[in-house]
Structure 1
Amino acid sequence: MMPVVLHFGLGAFHRAHQAVYTEDAGGWQIEAVSMRDPTLADAVNGQAGYTLVTRTPDGPVLRQIKGITRGHALSRGAGPIADRLADPDVHVVTVTITEKGYGLDRATGGPDQAHPTMSHDLAHPGDPRGLIGTLLLGLDRRRAAGTGPLTIICCDNLPDNGAVLSGLLRQTAQITHPDLIGWIDDNCTFPATMVDRITPATTPETTELVKAQTGRDDPLAIETEPFTQWVIEDRFAGPIPDWHAAGAQIVDDVAPYEMMKLRMLNGAHSTLAYMGLLAGHACVRDVMGDATLAPCIRAVMDTAGRTLPADLETGAYADALMERFANPSIAHRCQQIAMDGSQKMPQRIFATARDALAKDIDVAALADATAAWLTYLATADTVDDPLAEAICSAARADDPVARIADVAGLGCRDVLEHPIWQDAVRQALARRGAQH
C-alpha cells in the first residue's frame, strides 16, 4: 500500500497544483475530499485520472494526472473521512477550501460561532460538516488508534496559514475536544506554505478541447498556466512526498514569499477583478489590454513592493506578473476572482495599507482598489460573499468609507478607520464618480 496524502478541497486549484507535485514526486497517492459537491468525488471514483490543460502562448498542452486515486464526499458524512485520518497509511493532510471555508473569526483567530457550518460543528462535534470539525473527529480517532504523527498543510491564501490553521484547530478543540489539545501539540505540525498557479474555472471550451483531443468526456478536466510555485516550511511530523524533487521549495521561512505573493499577485488580482468588472471586462487578459487600467494594476504591485523587505526582487516579480496576467491563452474570469472579497481584501489590500501608512508610503493605488471594490458592492446585481448583506449595505450608505469599517468579521478596523486612509478612499471614490 502506498502512503497517502488526504486532501480537503477537491477543487480546480488542487487538481492543477498539489496533485501535480505529488504525482511528480512519485510513490504516494492522494485521497481527496469534496467539501460540498459529491459529484466531484463520484467523478474521481468513476474514472482513472483527469486531464490538465496547460495554456501556453504557443497553444494548449494536455497531460493526464492519475495521482488522485479515491474521492470522498463530506456531504455524505464525516465518519468515513475521520476513519481515514486514523489510518496509518495517511501521513499528510493538505487543505485548499478557500478563505471562507474555515469558519474563522479573524478578530480572535478562533471559531466564528456565527458561521453556519462552524456553529453546527461546535454543537455537534460527533457529526461535523466542515473542515475543522472533521479534522478534530479524525484526530481523536487517530489518537485512540495510536497511529502516530501527522503533518497538516494549509494551502489557502491566509497570512501565516500554518499558524492560523493550528490556532483555529486548538481554539475549537478547547470547546469540543479539550483533552485532545495535548496530543495535537505532541503529534501534529502545521507548516506554512505559499502556493501560486493561476487556475481559471473550467469552461465548456475546456471540456470540448479535452474531448476533441482525447475522445473522452472528462468532468474533472481543468486548465492552468505554465507557471507554478509551491514554497513549504521545513516542519514535518513524519514522511512526506519528495515534493522538493518535483520542484517545490522547502525553506526555513515562508513569510517573505507569502507576503510578496499575497500583496503583489493577489492584491493586484482583486484590484483588476473589480476594476475590470466595472469597466465591462470579462477576463484578466482583457483588463491587462486596457491602457487605462493596466497602469492601475501595476501601481498596486509597486506600492505593495515598497512595503516588503528590501532584499526581495519586487520589480522583477511585478514584471513577471504583468506578463502572466496578460497571457492571451488564459481566460481567467474577473467574476471568479471577485468572489468572497470580504475574505480577501483584508490580507491583500488592507494589510498592505497598514504597513504603507506606517512607512509614510502613498496609499492612493490601494485606495483606488478599495474604491473599486466598494463601487462594485454598491452596483452589482448579486455579490457572492459570506458577508454580502453587510458589506453591500455599507457600500450603499451615504458614507461607505466609514460604514465599511463597522462591518463585523471584516477586521483591519485600525486601517479602515485611519484618517489618512479614509481620506484617500473618499478621494478615490470621488474620482471614480466623476468618471461616470
Structure 2
Amino acid sequence: MSISPSAYLGPALLGGLPPEVRKPAYARSALQPGIAHIGVGAFHRCHQAEYTDDLLADDFDRWGLVGINIRPPVLAATLGRQDGLYTRLIRQNNEVEARVIGSIVRVVDSQHSAAPALEVLASPDIEMVTMTVTEKGYCHIPSSGALDLDHPDIVHDLANPEAPRSVPGILARALELRMGSHGRPVTLLSCDNIPANGTILGNVVQTFAERRGNGLADWIAANVAFPSAMVDRIAPATTEADIETVEQRFGYRDSAVVVGERFRQWVIENRFAGRVPRWDRIGAAFVDDVTPFEHLKMRVLNGAQTTLSYLGVLGGFEHTSDAMADPLLATFVRRMLTEETLPTLMPVPGISPSAYVEQSLSRLANTAIRHRNHQIATDGSQKIVQRLLNPVSDRLAKGQSIALLSVPVAGWMAYLIKASSRFGRAWQVSDPFAEKIAAIADRVGSDSKSLANAILAVEAIFHPSLAASDVFHANVVTSLDGLLSDDPMAFVRHVCADPTDARLKRPARSA
C-alpha cells in the first residue's frame, strides 16, 4: 500500500506503514486507561510511554496512558489528532530507527482549567500517576526541598483549592476527590531529575494537604505512595527537520515526532500503593534504594550536560555535541567528573563509575542528537543544587578541592548575568531566577566579587552554610571573573593547566 506524503499518522494508517517502521504489537483497540501522565513532552514520549508500549506487547493489561498537559503545549492538534500515536526516532550518528508508540489512549488539555485534569486523576480507573513537569513544577525551594508557600501558584491554590493551577494543588485536589468518592489507592511517581524526587513530591503534596485540613493528609499517608525514581534518556526538543525526516524517509506526516538516543534507563523505588505496571519485566529496575543510581546519573551525566551548556554558550557552541567536539571543553568536563565528582559518589551495584563517565561523554558526543545548549541551560537555578552544589558541599566537608566544580557554578551565574541589560542582553534566557540575577547585575555592576556576594546570598539556591564557605566563595569569584572576561575559554584553558593556580592567570576583562 502506498502512502500519500501528506497522510497524517493515525489508526487507519498503521496497517500501511513501511515494514521498517515498528508498530504496536498488541490490540490497541482493546486498550483501557490505567495510568495518567502529567507533562506529555518529548522526554515522556521517548521514555515512560515507550516502556509502557513494551510492557503492553509483553503482557497486555489495562495500562493505557492518558496524557495530560496543564501547561503549554496543547495536545489536541498533535497527539489528539493522531489518536495518541506518534513516531519515536532513535538517532545514533548516521543511523535512524523509527517506531510508532501506541500506549497513549487519550490526551487531555487542561491549561485553562484544572477540571479536565482532575476528572482523569480522580477516576477509579487510574491506579498510577506519573509526571515529568520539570524541576520548577514542584513549587519547592531547591536548597531545602520544602514547599514554597510564597510561590504565587501555591498562594492562589491555598486560597482556591477547588480551582488549582499548580502541580501540588492539582494533585492534592485530585486525591481529595478520590478520598471523597471511591477511596482507591494510587501511586504518584515523579520522573523528573530531582534527587529523592518521590520524597520531594510527597512533601509538597502532604504540606499542601495539611493546610487543607479535613483529614486529607491522613488519608494520603494511608493510601498514596510516592516512590523515587531515576530516569535516563537524552531526548532533545523536536525540530522541523525531524518531522521532515519521517515524511521523506517513511512517507507520512507526524506532528508529534520525538527523537532520542538508543540508551535508556529507569530505576524505581519498590514502594507502591495498589497495582503497579510491571515495567521491571521489560528493562526497568525495581530497587530498595534509588539514591546511588540518581547520584550517579545527576552528578555525572547531568552534571556534564549542565557544565557543557554554560561553558558551551560562553564559548560560542550551539549544541552539546559541538561542545564535546572541542578538545578543551571535552578535557575539562572529563577531568571535572573524574577528579572531583566521582569521589563524591556512593557505590552503585553493577556499575563502574569510571566506565559510566566514558559512556556518558560518548553519549553527549552523539552528533545526531542536536541538543541545544540554551535548552539544557533552561531553569538552571532548579538544577545546579543536585548536579553541582551537592558534590561541591560533599568535597568541602572533606577538605577537598573544588577548583573544577566551581567553574560551571560560576558558569550558571555568568550565563544569567550576560543576559542582563548591564551586559548587553547577550541572549534570551529562561530561568525562574533570571530577573533576580539581572537586577543584581544592574545594581552591583561588573565587579565579580560583588556579583558573587549578591548571588550567593540567594538562599533558595545556595544554602547559607555553603555560601559562608571562604573556599567556595574564593573559587566562585575567581571562576566568575574568568568567565566574564573577554576570553572565557582562555580561563578554562588555565584551569585545565593547573586548577589551583587559575586565579593567578586570569585573562583580561574589558572595562
TM-score over 0.5 for the alignment? yes
Per the TM alignment, residue 144 of structure 1 is displaced from its structure 2 partner at its CA by 1.2
Equivalent residue runs for 1:149-168 within 5 Å: 149-168=185-204
Asked whether the 8 Å contact 2:143–2:459 carries over to 1, the reply is no
Equivalent residue runs for 1:36-51 within 5 Å: 36-37=71-72, 39-48=74-83, 49-51=85-87
Per the TM alignment, residue 17 of structure 1 is displaced from its structure 2 partner at its CA by 0.4
What's the counterpart of residue 468 of structure 2? Answer: 417
Per the TM alignment, residue 409 of structure 1 is displaced from its structure 2 partner at its CA by 2.4
Q: Supply the AA of the counterpart residue of 2:476.
A: V
Q: Supply the AA of the counterpart residue of 2:471.
A: I
1:375 matches 2:414: yes
Which secondary structure state, in structure 1, belongs to the residue aligned with residue 280 of structure 2?
Answer: coil
Number of paired residues? 436
CA distance in 1, matches of 2:364, 2:235: 12
Which secondary structure state, in structure 2, belongs to the residue aligned with residue 389 of structure 1?
Answer: helix
What's the counterpart of residue 142 of structure 1? Answer: 178
1:308 matches 2:345: yes
Which secondary structure state, in structure 1, belongs to the residue aligned with residue 289 of structure 2?
Answer: coil
Structure 1: which 4+ aligned runs deviate by more than 4 Å?
Answer: none
What's the counterpart of residue 227 of structure 2? Answer: 191
> Residues 336 and 395 (structure 1 numbering): CA distance in 2 closer, same or farther, change over 3 Å?
same
CA distance in 2, matches of 1:347, 1:212: 41
CA distance in 1, matches of 2:242, 2:395: 41
The alignment's C-alpha RMSD in Å is 1.7
Match of 1:325 among 364, 367, 385: 364
1:248 matches 2:284: yes
Q: Deviations over 1:271-298 (max 9, x none)?
A: 1000000111000000001011111111
Q: Deviations over 1:371-428 (max 9, x none)?
A: 2222212213222111111123345633222111212522423223211111111222
1:265 matches 2:304: no
CA distance in 1, matches of 2:136, 2:122: 26
Which secondary structure state, in structure 2, belongs to the residue aligned with residue 198 of structure 1?
Answer: coil
> Residues 321 and 106 (structure 1 numbering): CA distance in 2 closer, same or farther, change over 3 Å?
closer
What's the counterpart of residue 219 of structure 1? Answer: 255
> Residues 426 and 162 (structure 1 numbering): CA distance in 2 closer, same or farther, change over 3 Å?
same
1:2 matches 2:41: no
CA distance in 2, matches of 1:181, 1:244: 30
What's the counterpart of residue 70 of structure 2? Answer: 35
Asked whether the 8 Å contact 1:3–1:91 carries over to 2, the reply is no
Gaps of 5+ in 2: 1-30, 420-424, 486-505
1:390 matches 2:436: yes
Per the TM alignment, residue 105 of structure 1 is displaced from its structure 2 partner at its CA by 2.7
What's the counterpart of residue 11 of structure 1? Answer: 41
1:88 matches 2:134: no
Q: Supply the AA of the counterpart residue of 2:402.
A: V
CA distance in 2, matches of 1:308, 1:408: 25
Asked whether the 8 Å contact 1:284–1:325 carries over to 2, the reply is yes
Per the TM alignment, residue 108 of structure 1 is displaced from its structure 2 partner at its CA by 5.5
Per the TM alignment, residue 80 of structure 1 is displaced from its structure 2 partner at its CA by 2.8
Which secondary structure state, in structure 1, belongs to the residue aligned with residue 74 of structure 2?
Answer: helix
Asked whether the 8 Å contact 1:100–1:343 carries over to 2, the reply is yes
1:180 matches 2:180: no
Asked whether the 8 Å contact 1:21–1:246 carries over to 2, the reply is yes
> Residues 435 and 217 (structure 1 numbering): CA distance in 2 closer, same or farther, change over 3 Å?
farther
Q: Deviations over 1:280-323 (max 9, x none)?
A: 10000000010111111112322111101256621011010111
Q: Deviations over 1:198-229 (max 9, x none)?
A: 01111111111112133333221110100000
CA distance in 2, matches of 1:61, 1:177: 51
Per the TM alignment, residue 191 of structure 1 is displaced from its structure 2 partner at its CA by 0.6
Per the TM alignment, residue 158 of structure 1 is displaced from its structure 2 partner at its CA by 1.1
Gaps of 5+ in 1: none
Q: Supply the AA of the counterpart residue of 1:20.
A: E
> Residues 278 and 422 (structure 1 numbering): CA distance in 2 closer, same or farther, change over 3 Å?
same
What's the counterpart of residue 342 of structure 1? Answer: 381
Asked whether the 8 Å contact 2:33–2:105 carries over to 1, the reply is no
1:427 matches 2:478: yes
CA distance in 1, matches of 2:441, 2:395: 24
Asked whether the 8 Å contact 1:289–1:326 carries over to 2, the reply is yes
What's the counterpart of residue 24 of structure 2? Answer: none
> Residues 363 and 41 (structure 1 numbering): CA distance in 2 closer, same or farther, change over 3 Å?
farther
Per the TM alignment, residue 106 of structure 1 is displaced from its structure 2 partner at its CA by 3.6
Asked whether the 8 Å contact 2:109–2:116 carries over to 1, the reply is no
Asked whether the 8 Å contact 1:9–1:95 carries over to 2, the reply is yes
Asked whether the 8 Å contact 1:33–1:41 carries over to 2, the reply is no
CA distance in 1, matches of 2:441, 2:262: 37
Asked whether the 8 Å contact 1:110–1:172 carries over to 2, the reply is no
Match of 2:399 among 360, 363, 369: 360
Larger Rg: 2
Which secondary structure state, in structure 1, belongs to the residue aligned with residue 267 of structure 2?
Answer: strand
What's the counterpart of residue 404 of structure 1? Answer: 455
CA distance in 1, matches of 2:334, 2:39: 32
How many percent of aligned residue pairs carry the same amino acid? 38
Per the TM alignment, residue 137 of structure 1 is displaced from its structure 2 partner at its CA by 1.2
